[in-house]
Structure formats: C-alpha cells, structure tokens
Amino acid sequence: MLRLQDLRPYLSELARHFIAAFLPFSLALATFLFSYTWFERNQALTSLSGNETIRIETAKNATQSLLNEVVADLGLLSNDQILQDWLETPSPGALKDVTNHFLLIARTKRIYDHIRLLDLSGKERLRVNFSLGGPYSVPDGELQDKSNRYYFSESVNLTRGHVFLSPLDLNVENEEIERPMKPMIRLATPVFDRQGIRRGVLVMNYLAQHLLGKLGEAASGIQGELMLVNGESYWLLSPRHEDEWGFQLNSGKRFDLTHAQAWRQIQAGQTSVQNESGLYTATALRPAILSQKQAGSVLITTGSIPASDYVWWLISHIPEPGLSNLVSSRTNLHVAFVFALFLIGVLSFSYAAMRVARIRSDENLKQAAKVMEVTHDAVLILCPNRKILSANQAAAAITGFLPSELMGADERMTRAHQDEVEREETIWMQVEDHGQWQGEIWNRRKNGEAYPAYATIGRITDHKGRLQNYIEIFSDITDRKLEEQALLKLAHHDPLTGLPNRALFLDRLEVALATAKRAGHKASVLFIDLDKFKPVNDELGHEAGDILLCEIAKRLQAALREADTVARFGGDEFVVLLPEIDHDHDALTVAGSLIERVRDEIMVKGHACHVGCSIGIAFFPGDADEPARLVEQADQAMYRAKQTGSGAIRMAGRELPDHPIPARRYLKPVT
C-alpha cells in the first residue's frame, strides 16, 4: 500500500513546478485577455467614431451647400436684368415687372418668407411674402419703414458683392415671437444700377426650417442624437424640441449645462469626445464663411454682430448605456478569465508531470479545434510548404470549397487573380521576416467570384523557434466595402434621382474647363428648369412629383453621351455639362432634343402628366472662364427663357440664330 509519506517528495516537487509555471503564465494570459478585450472595444469605438464623423461631415457639407445656394440666389437676384431695368428707369411698369420676377423666385424656391427691396432711406419699395397659399405681393399701403432694423444698417453701406448674413433665430413680428415659430436667416446686400450708383438694399428672409429639415435628412444613419448648437451653447436643433431656442424663449436651457465636460473639450477643438455620458462627435459649421469655389465672388460679412453668433456646432451624441451596447466586446470577460485560469492550470500541471501534460495537451488541441469551428472567420492551417493541412467550416462557407477540397491544396488557389498571387510572395517575405502579416487581399470563391478579404497570416513555431506550421485567418469584408461606397455616393449624388449633385457637377465642370482650355475646344452648360411641375405636386402629391423627377432624370441621361454629365441642383432644376462641342449649334441641338424628350407624356400613378422645360445655355470660353460664373450665366439665360414661355431656349448674352440649326450626329437616337 502506497503511503502518504512516500508520495510527499513527488507531490512537493509537483507543487513547486506547478507554482513556478502557473504564476507567470496566469499573469501573462490574464494581461493578454484584458488587453485583447480593451483593444477590441477600442477598435469598435474607433470604427463607430469614424462612421459618425463621416455622417456628421456629410450633414455639414449638405448644410453649407444649402447656404451657398441661398447666397447665390441673392447675388443673382441683385444683378438681375429686370431689377437693373427698374433701377435705370423707375417706372410703375418696371416696378411691376420686378414684383412679378420676385413672385416667380418665391414660387419656384418656396424657401423665402420675405423678399424685400428697400430704398436708401430704409423704406420698402416692394415686398413679396410667402405663405401656405403661395407668394403674394404686399400692397403699397402696407409697405413698412425698415430703417431701424439691424439688417438694413448693417448692409446699406456695403460695397458691391458683399452680403450681410444674420444669425439664425426665431422670427419676431410686432415685438413678439411669431407663432408657429419660424427659424429665420436674413441676407441683405446693396443693389447698384448699371452706372455703379447705390440705389437700395435687397433683403431675403430664408426659412431656416428648410435647412434644419435637410440637415436631418443628410445626417440619416448616425447612431447618436443629432443636435445643432450655436456659439453660446443654446440648442437650435435638439431631439427634445422643448430645449430649442432658449436664448429667445428665456428657458435657460443650454447644451453646456447638461454636457459641461464635453462642451469644454469641443470648444478646445476635439471633434470626438468620450466620457461617462457617452460619445460625442462634433464639427464646427461657420455659415458666414463660404467656399470661394462655390460662392464665386460673393463675400460674406457679419457686420458688428459678435462672431460667436456665427458659429454653429453640429453634434452627434450616443449616450450610455447605448454606447456600451454598440461597442461591447464579444468576449465575456468573466467567463474568459475563468477559462484562462483553467487553461493555465492545465498547462502548468502538464509542465509538472509529463503524463498529465500529454493528456492535457490532447484536450487543449480538441478545444482549439472547437474554437476553429465556432468562429465566423475562416481559419486555414498550412504545412511549411504552404499546402492546406486543415480548414474550418467558416472557410468552406466563405470560399465555397468543401473542406475536403481545400485539404492538400496550395493556398494560392484561394487568391483572386495573378496580381494577388504575385503580391503574395511579398506577403510571405514579411511573414518570414516579422512573424506575421495583416491586411486586405482579394480572394476568390469556388465559382470564380472575387471578393475582398481581411487576412492575418502568421508562423507557428515550437519552443525552440523552429517552424511547425502557418496559420491564415481571413474574413469576407464585402459588406464593409459596399457601405463605404454607399457613403461616398451619398456625399456626391442626389438621393432621389441618383444623379450627381451640385458639388460633384462643379468638380467635373472644373476638370472639363481645364481640359477644354488645354485642347482649345469649346464646352457648354445647359441650365434646365421644369415647367408645369408644381401642379403635379399640388394635385397628385409629392410622391408623384418625385416619380416624375426620376423619370425626367432618366430621359435626360438617355439623351446624352457617356462623356456628358447631367446633375440635379435641387427642386426641379437640372444642369447638363457638354465637355466637348465643335459648334454652338451642337448645344442648341442638344437643348432642342431635351425639350422634346421632357415634353413627351409621362404616366404617374395612372395619370398622364405633361410637363415642359426651359433651358438656358452658356458657352466656354465665350461667356465665362470660371465654373461658377459659367453656371450663373446659364441660370440667367434660363430665367430669360422662362419669361418667354414653356419650351423656350435662350443663350447667355446673345439671341438664338435665325438660320436653321444643322443636323449633327451628336445625340443618342431616340428609342
């Protein structure tokens, strides 16, 4: 019978070796486990923060683009030919023409509460108001004296091309906040006659609720609560409407009172802030600073109003515990820690006793195989000659090969094409030099389909550093790539029609003009505005209007060459770029064909709709050398066309030729 004292030396030695192995390895693996969990959470947080930043910046760019359009409208209207005619010869008939033109602008844009023309004393010479029923002209007896209003005093002495921009606040009528509340931005600029003499001030009250609504649309997809805060920390837009406009409603509610720490860090220049209240993603929006590329020669001034009134902060806030749910680690820390201690105990005891070590080694291999099978990532074990030794079910699911087909095959069979096979030699050189490689690579499935993958390749060595095997772990990142492409498309394309938006169009126009200048050929811009579109919206609803716009977009695209660009600038306005034409008649031919295609009947929800369009044409280099100026010239020509009647074409700075337009093989045939 084996006595305890006989086992004591063995047990003592076993315990000594067990402790010597258990303590350092348990500490190392516990450190690794906590580090891995921390790293995984931070990676998820970084990815979330990056996505929030992209969407916030997209919303910022969309907001800035809307403001650019409003400033551009004011600039165009202040230099309009009809207004210049009245300034030159101020007769009742000319004033009526100006009033009708202002009514057309208000009816077309639907975003201006008031359009005023003041004389140099501050008295209104005309005013167009906009209500739910549409725009209307205010009778002479109701015109007011605005000489004591700040926007008049701030703008009346400005030089040509300067625009005064007011802060964003609620509209006040008769010393009281108008109900229902109207967020408003006022823009004012002096007007000059053709001799350069200052004759008055043009004022436009922009309905900023349109801007706030578009801001919410542009920021769709953010995980957090969207807020817009002014420079004094008052909410202009909040998930809780009762918090908004505290600086005028005297509610005392401000962002910095409930988010003090985040506000200090945002003011210090941090665009991403995380604290116990959650994750904040912020960007500064300065509406008084417009891009010279988009605003042309217009200069914005804030006058004597504090600069803090012209800084807005666009903020996304993901509060706790929602943030924790979004970035929580997949690893259960407590279960993983217990498992780590158990594994260390097994390995330590195996070190102390060879027999137990062998048994525990077999169990550990079985557990590792189980982990390979339950993971969502593909795992390949490779021989030193890079032949596949084993593959898990995830590898079979991703590649389409059966595990039996993978085993024994060269791992290069999973690569997409020859370029990746050649690149792989560089990858394996890094594995040999540094022990592992991580990065994106193109793989292929059994059916030949290529897909992007994120792979990690590493060496497996024995205790002496000798190579035993390689391990390759990869995952299919197709969805992530598609999401990135979708975000990029959202930033550069109109969400309704899928056409390029204003920003992308201007970029293409800039490239086209540079190419035309080098090659010495002509280019043209066609500004298209739909006629009779409003009745479709009013009678059939906005959904029908959207269907009609999409069909018009398809017809315009179908009529043009692949090298041409058609973009939607907003509302029912489209712009076409013809980057290379031989003669002015080519653009006229295109315009005529587009009018015919738009004029054809369109069925919308069982109704036959007939709309038309008016087109203004500007040519490079004859009409303008700069992209923004060329678009402006085409826009002005379009306005002259609309005054003529539906289906009219006008060229910037000239009349249509009176001789027939030659037939050129320029357009696609009508199908």
- Per-residue pLDDT tens over the stretch 646-659: 889 999 977 765 44
Are 430 and 549 within one domain?
no
What's the pLDDT at 358? 46
Q: Does 335 reside within a domain?
A: no
Q: Is the Cβ–Cβ distance between 48 and 327 less than 8 Å?
A: yes
Band the pLDDT of 261: cuts 50, 70, 90.
very high
Q: Does 344 reside within a domain?
A: no
What's the pLDDT at 668? 43
Reply yes or no on whether the pLDDT at 362 is more than 70: no
Interval 213-237: pLDDT, tens: 888 887 778 888 899 998 888 998 8
Per-residue pLDDT averaged across 306-314, rounded? 77
What's the pLDDT at 487? 63
Q: What angle do CA 60, 135, 102 make, to 5 degrees?
A: 80
**For residues 634 and 29, which has the higher predicted lDDT (pLDDT)?**
634
What's the pLDDT at 10? 58
Q: Does 20 reside within a domain?
A: no
pTM over 0.85: no
Least confident of 289-303, 352-366, 413-427, 500-514: 352-366
What's the pLDDT at 294? 41
Per-residue pLDDT averaged across 303-331, rounded? 75
Distance CA 381, CA 395 (A): 11
For strand 612-620 and strand 649-651, is the pairing parallel, antiparallel, or unpaired?
parallel
Are 162 and 295 within one domain?
yes
Supply the DSSP symbol for 206: E
Domain of residue 606, CATH code: 3.30.70.270
Reply yes or no on whether the pLDDT at 660 is more than 70: no
Residue 571: how many CA atoms within 13 Å on its side-chain side?
19
What's the pLDDT at 357? 43
Reply yes or no on whether the pLDDT at 353 is more than 80: no
What's the pLDDT at 461? 82
Report the Cα 605 to chain-centroid distance in Å: 32
What's the pLDDT at 367? 59
Reply yes or no on whether the pLDDT at 33 is more than 80: no
Interval 365-419: pLDDT, tens: 455 556 566 677 888 888 888 888 888 888 777 888 887 788 887 777 777 666 6
Band the pLDDT of 436: cuts 50, 70, 90.
confident
- Secondary structure of 376-420 in HEC code, one letter for each residue: CCEEEEECCCCEEEEECHHHHHHHCCCHHHHCCCEHHHHECCHHH
Least confident of 42-46, 186-190, 432-436, 496-500: 42-46
Report the Cα 373 to chain-centroid distance in Å: 39
Per-residue pLDDT averaged across 78-84, rounded? 91
Are 425 and 452 within one domain?
yes
Distances (CA, A) of 483 to 186, 440, 478, 490, 552: 38, 16, 9, 10, 28
Are 291 and 407 within one domain?
no
What's the pLDDT at 120? 94
Domain count, the chain: 3
Interval 96-151: pLDDT, tens: 999 999 999 999 999 999 999 999 999 999 999 998 778 999 999 999 999 999 89
Work out the mean pLDDT of the chain and round it to a whole number: 82
**For residues 86 and 360, which has the higher predicted lDDT (pLDDT)?**
86
Interval 507-546: pLDDT, tens: 999 999 999 999 889 999 999 999 888 888 888 888 988 9
Are 239 and 385 within one domain?
no
What's the pLDDT at 669? 39
Distance CA 298, CA 163 (A): 7
Are 418 and 548 within one domain?
no
Count other Cβ atoms within 10 Å, centred on residue 76. 16
Band the pLDDT of 632: cuts 50, 70, 90.
very high
Band the pLDDT of 665: cuts 50, 70, 90.
very low
Band the pLDDT of 7: cuts 50, 70, 90.
low
Q: Does 591 reside within a domain?
A: yes
Which of 293, 314, 329 is the last residue in one of the domains? 329
Are 552 and 405 within one domain?
no
Q: Does 579 reside within a domain?
A: yes
Domain of residue 262, CATH code: 3.30.450.20
Q: Dihedral (C-alpha) 248, 251, 252, 258: value to the nearest 10 degrees? A: -120
What's the pLDDT at 451? 82
**For residues 166 and 292, which has the higher predicted lDDT (pLDDT)?**
166
Are 187 and 312 within one domain?
yes
Residue 97, domain extent: 52-329
Distances (CA, A) of 364 to 346, 391, 569: 9, 18, 64
Helices (H), 166-272: 208-218, 246-249, 255-258, 260-267
Are 505 and 427 within one domain?
no
Q: Does 587 reside within a domain?
A: yes
Are 57 and 151 within one domain?
yes
Reply yes or no on whether the pLDDT at 9 is more than 90: no
Interval 582-594: pLDDT, tens: 888 889 999 999 9
| DSSP assignment string, 270-301 | -SEEEETTEEEEEEEE-TT---HHHHTT-EEE
Q: Is the Cβ–Cβ distance between 245 and 234 less than 8 Å?
A: yes
What's the pLDDT at 411? 76
What's the pLDDT at 143? 93
Reply yes or no on whether the pLDDT at 296 is more than 70: no
With pLDDT > 90 as the criterion, what percentage of the chain qualifies?
Answer: 28
Are 449 and 570 within one domain?
no
What's the pLDDT at 659? 40
Q: Is the Cβ–Cβ distance between 606 and 46 less than 8 Å?
A: no
Per-residue pLDDT averaged across 488-495, rounded? 74
Band the pLDDT of 82: cuts 50, 70, 90.
very high
Are 623 and 583 within one domain?
yes
Q: Does 198 reside within a domain?
A: yes
Query: What is the token pair recorded at 307?
Result: 């600069």
Which of 428, 454, 479 is the last residue in one of the domains? 479
